[in-house]
Amino acid sequence: MTAFVNALRDRNALSLLVVLILRRVAGAAFPVVLVVATADVRGLAAAALVQGFRVTALAGTAPFRARLLDRIGRARVIRPQIVVSSAALVALAICSVTRSIPLWAVAVCAVVMALTNPSLDAVIRTVWRMTGRTEAEVKALHSYDSIIEEAGFLVGPFLASILMLALGHRVALYVFAVGVVAGMVSALIPAAIRTTLKRTAAKQPAAVPAKDSGRGARVGRALRTMAGPIATPELQRIVAPLILMGVELGIVAIAAPAISSAHGNSGFSGFIIASISLGGIVGAIGYGSLRLGDSLRRRHALLGLVFGLPLLFGTWAHSPEMLGLLLAVAGLAVTPLYINAYLMMDADIPRSAIHEANTWVPVGNDVGYVIGLTTAGALSHHASLHGLSTSLSIAAVVLVVYSMLQLRGGSQQPTETDTADAEVSSTATTAA
C-alpha cells in the first residue's frame, strides 16, 4: 500500500496521470457526442456508418501505427501524427454536423483521423518503467493508468450527456473535440515524455540467416515480419485471455439490453454494463495496493479464472439484477488483467517492439468483442433468451479451461516472465 501512495509523490508520474485523465475522459465522451450530433443532422444510419469507419480504422491500424514508433523513432512520428490527427478531428467535428458536406467527406475525415492517431498511450506505458523507482511503484503506476481508463468510460459518457443537455449537441461536440486535441498536445508537456521523445529508436537486431532458404521458409519469415510481435508465443500468451474476455463482453453488449427488455425496461442495460467498470475499478485498486507473490504468468492465469468463473453461471442470469451481479464480480479481474498484461510486456517483450506490443492489449480485446458481438447478434435472431445467456456460459468455459491449462503449464516449468519478474526491481531502479 505504501508504494501505491508513494508513486503519486513523483512529479513526473503525477503530471502524466493528470494528462491521462484529460485524454481518457475526452476520448470516452467524444464518440458518444459524435454519434448523437451526426444523427441529428444525417440520421442514425449515417452516424453509425461514420462511427463504424472510425473504429474499424482505429483498431485495424493500431499495431502498425505503433510499429512506426519502434522502427522510425518516437520523436519523428508522434509530433507529425498529432498535427495531422488534430486537423482531421476538427474537420470531422465540423463536417459531421454541416448538412451541405457530403457523407463520404465526413467518412474520409474519420478515417484520416484514425489512421494518423498517435500511439501516445503506448509511449506513456513504456515511461512507467522509467518513472517507477521500484517494481511495486511500477505496478502502482500501471494500476493508476488502468483505473483512469476504466473511470473514463464512466465519467466521459456522463459528462457528454450533461453538456449535450446544457449546451446542445453541436456545441458539446466542439467542446469534446477541443478536449481530445488538448489531450494529445498536453501529453508532450511532462518532462518524462519530452525526455523519451529525444531518444532514438532502438536498433533492430541483425537478421540471422535461416538454414532453410526454401520458398516455404521465406514465406514464413515474411508473414512473421508483417505480423510483428504478435507472432511470438510470449505476446500470444499475454493477449489470448484478453481476446476471450472480449468475446464475453461482446456477448454482454447484446445480452444486457435483451434481458432488460424482457423485464420491461431496456434502460437497465446501461446499469448492467456499468457494473463491469465498477468491479474493474475496485479490482484495480486491490491489485495495485496488494503485495502478490505469484509470478506474472500465474497471476494472468488466475485473473482469467476470476473473470470466467462467475460467468459460468450466465445461463441462470435471466434478470438484470443477476446479470449485473455476475458482471460486477467478474469485473474485479478486468482492469487487473490489463495491468498484468502491461507488466508482462515489460518483462518479456524486447524494447525494439514494445510500442507495437502494447497496442495488442486493447486490440486483442476489440477482436474478441467483435466476435462476441457478432455471435450474440446472430443468436438474438435465431435463439431464445436462454440460448443467448447460455452462450455467455459457453464462452466462460473456454476461458476457464484455457486459464487452467496456463496455470498448470506455469507451475511445471519456469518461464521468461517468472525470471524477469524476480529480477525486474533492479531493472526499474536502474532505469529510473
Rounded to 5 degrees, φ, ψ at 383 are -135, 165
State pTM to two decimals: 0.70
For the chain, percent of residues with pLDDT exceeding 90:
22
Q: So what's the pLDDT on residue 36?
A: 82
Q: Which of 121, 375, 143, 351 is nearest to 253 (CA)?
A: 375
| Residue 420: band (very low, low, confident or very high) from pLDDT cuts 50, 70, 90 | very low
pLDDT in tens, 180-237: 999 999 888 887 787 777 765 444 444 444 455 555 555 455 555 555 666 677 888 8
Element holding 122 (H helix, E strand): helix 120-131
Cβ–Cβ under 8 Å, residues 393 and 312: yes
| Residue 295: band (very low, low, confident or very high) from pLDDT cuts 50, 70, 90 | confident
Q: What CATH number matches the domain at 230-431, 3.10.105.10, 1.20.1080.10, 1.20.1250.20, 3.30.450.40?
A: 1.20.1250.20
Distance of CA 234 to the CA centre of its chain: 18
| Residue 328 or 196, more confident | 328
Q: So what's the pLDDT on residue 93?
A: 94
Q: So what's the pLDDT on residue 387?
A: 80
Angle between helices 44-71 and 354-382 (to 10 degrees): 150
Q: So what's the pLDDT on residue 418?
A: 44
Grid cell 463491469 is found at 276
382 pLDDT above the threshold of 50 = yes
Rounded Cα distance, 231 and 228, in Å: 6
Domain ranges of the chain: 2-137+148-198, 230-431
pLDDT in tens, 44-62: 778 878 877 887 888 778 8
CATH placement of domain 2-137+148-198: 1.20.1250
pLDDT average, residue stretch 74-85: 87
411 pLDDT above the threshold of 70 = no
The answer to whether the 2-137+148-198 and 230-431 domains have the same CATH topology is yes
Rounded Cα distance, 110 and 93, in Å: 9
403 pLDDT above the threshold of 90 = yes
Angle between helices 354-382 and 120-131 (to 10 degrees): 130
